[in-house]
Amino acid sequence: MSTDPIFETDFVKEMARQMRALDTYGTYAGWTVEKILDPYILTKERKANIPLIGDPDDETISRVKAFYNAIAVLIEKECKLLAVPLVHLTHEGFGRAIITVGKLVAVEKTLRDVHRFGFPSLSKMKDDADKLLGIALERIGQYPAVAGL
């Protein structure tokens, strides 16, 4: 296993939990976190092999949902309020990800070209998640009465 400190972060640990939860056949048993999260990493070479236009497969959609589920869990951990993720996609891979806390929309992200969902690196994925988490916590702080409903 890698000694990179990113593997000790709450986000990466939660992403590994989310991915293992999707593994109904035990395929990931014995896999390292690095290997489990590898499908999220789209290097330039990997991205070049994915067509510009295409429909997302079930595995890709599951990875998108796991990403937003992990952010929702981290929101709950920080503010002690239930965070509910919703990912709605068309068959063509366009849609929206929303995380609500109470009656508050804490995270809203338009999704495009989901068949190409991924990040250049694990640290970029964590940075994007941290940004969404920061926005959510700021909104919850601004509207605690709405978030508490």
Residue % of the chain over a pLDDT of 70: 99
DSSP for residue 119: B
Instruction: Bin 5: left if φ > 0, else alpha if -120 < ψ < 50, else beta.
Output: alpha
What pLDDT is recorded for position 77? Answer: 97
The residue-averaged pLDDT of 3-8 equals: 89
Domain residue spans in the chain?
A: 5-147
Higher per-residue pLDDT: 90 or 1: 90
- What's the average model confidence in pLDDT over 94-114? 96
- Given this model, what pLDDT does residue 2 score? 62
One-letter amino acid for residue 106 of the chain: A
Cα 146 from Cα 149, distance rounded (Å): 5
Query: How far is the C-alpha of 6 from the C-alpha of 14, rounded, in Å?
Result: 12
Residue with the two structure tokens 């940004």: 131
User: Is residue 1 pLDDT above 60, yes or no?
Assistant: no
pTM: 0.93
pLDDT in tens, 62-83: 999 999 999 999 999 999 999 9
Give the single-character DSSP code of 37. H
Q: What is the pLDDT of residue 142?
A: 97
Task: Give all strands of the β-sheet with 83-89 in edge-to-edge order.
Answer: 83-89, 95-101, 104-111
Q: How confident is the model at residue 51 (pLDDT cuts 50, 70, 90)?
A: confident
How far apart CA 117 and CA 49 sit, in angstroms, is 13
Residue 53 confidence (pLDDT):
86
Helix (H) or strand (E) holding 97: strand 95-101
For the domain spanning 5-147, the CATH number is 1.10.3100.20
Q: Report the percentage of the chain scoring pLDDT > 90.
A: 81
**Mean pLDDT for the stretch of residues 7-25:** 94
- Distance between CA 19 and CA 60 in Å, rounded? 12
Q: At what angle do helices 10-22 and 58-79 cross, to 10 degrees?
A: 140
